[in-house]
A = this chain, B = another copy of it.
Amino acid sequence: MNLKTLAQELGLSPTTVSRALNGYPEVSEATRIRVMKAAEAANYRPNTQAKRLATGRAMAIGHIIPISTRHEIVNPVFADFIAGAGEVYARRGYDMVITIVPDDQEARAYAELRSKGNVDGVLVHAPKVEDHRIAMLDHLGLPFVLHGRVSGIESSYSWVDVNNVRAFTRATNFLLDLGHRRIALINGIGNMDFARRRRRGYEQALTARGIAPDPALITEGEMTEAQGHDAAREMLQLSNPPTAFLTASLLSAMGARRGIEEAGLKMGRDISIVTHDDELGYLKNGTAEEPIFTATRSSVREAGRRCAALLIDQIESGDRTPRHELMEAVLVLGQSTGPAPTA
């Protein structure tokens, strides 16, 4: 069933039928209703490709996911972010087009998306400390929104981010207030911008209290359970071990807890943990009423929603002035923190 035959059946021109269905005013209400009903009855839906070609709008948003050929990690946050963004796309009539690409071909993938015209804009993930993608996308003229920021360049493009500095400053201060002085940071990969910011928040809080950050208490890594475990285990063997851990993800925190318990210590009594919690669907921090870990919490799914909404707004309005959204993490109290043990 296509527009032409539908129009024939109705004894109307394709023009009128198209206008009736798309809500243009140049058609009488009576015929509009007649057309709508016939379209419904015939289960007619305009062909996407034809519509796209005619309008010049792809009605699709791209996500490019680089896959490292070396360490094959798929970002665990990805699924939830996608789910959030996808809700918005569906509601607003956009397709979500995901491209998996070897990480050395990422730039090329953006250029192709642009020149082939399959998308109206892209959502950009996981910014690194020095991220060349911004300049590249500006150059391509492809509308985009960044999930996160790149330190140093924050005003020339649109982004949605969590206030990571503030979240980790608060978390650190919270531990300091409980009397902890040896606080360790089990961070994400060092060249990720969000990890850099969290570290900054952590160090600022320490410094403000006159405590010099100890490099022996800072590690970076892939935010897996194993990473959390190994890092905690090693640090607890130091001659001057930490009494508290700050971890970058629930998985790391779970690993750290295991390391703590292996050392014969009890989390929340002997050693405290504050973790960041992205509120992933499959990785809950206990229940809403009873969190296991004290955590800086911010929904990555909500971030996905906001990114998508922002991008579509920009595309549809044609307004290219950058917009920013800074989400604040809440600090929720769980069972993983307590006063520093008195030596």
Contacts and interface: CB of A to CB of B under 8 A. Distances in A.
Interface of A: 1, 43-50, 52-53, 58, 60, 65, 67, 72-76, 78-80, 82-83, 86-87, 89-90, 95-101, 111-112, 115-118, 222-226, 251, 254, 257-258, 261, 280-284, 286, 301
Given A112-B45, A116-B46, A96 B99 contact: yes
Contact of A73 (B67, B100, B254, B282): B282
A73 B80 CA distance: 9
Contacts of A98: 82, 86, 96-98
A111 to B, nearest CB: 8
A308 to B, nearest CB: 10
Count copies of this chain in the complex: 2
Contacts of A96: 97-100
Contacts of A46: 116
22 contacts: A43-B111, A43-B115, A46-B116, A47-B117, A48-B116, A49-B52, A49-B58, A52-B52, A72-B281, A76-B76, A76-B282, A76-B283, A82-B98, A83-B100, A89-B100, A96-B98, A97-B98, A98-B98, A224-B284, A225-B283, A225-B284, A251-B282
Contacts of A222: 282
Dominant secondary structure at the A interface: mixed
Contacts of A83: 65, 67, 74, 100
A111 B226 CA distance: 44
- Max chain B Cβ within 10 angstroms of own Cβ: one of A47, A48, A118, A254: A48
B97 A49 contact: no
Contacts of A282: 73-76, 222-224, 251
Contacts of A90: 99-101
A79 B78 CA distance: 7
B74 A281 contact: yes
A43 B116 CA distance: 10
A330 B28 CA distance: 67
A79 to B, nearest CB: 4
Contacts of A53: 47, 49-50, 53
Contacts of A101: 90
A100 B116 CA distance: 24
A227 to B, nearest CB: 10
Nearest to A292: B226
Contact of A79 (B75, B97, B118): B75
A245 B251 CA distance: 22
Nearest to A101: B90
A327 B67 CA distance: 24
Contact of A100 (B45, B86, B99, B286): B86
B87 A79 contact: no
A118 B65 contact: no
A64 B73 CA distance: 23
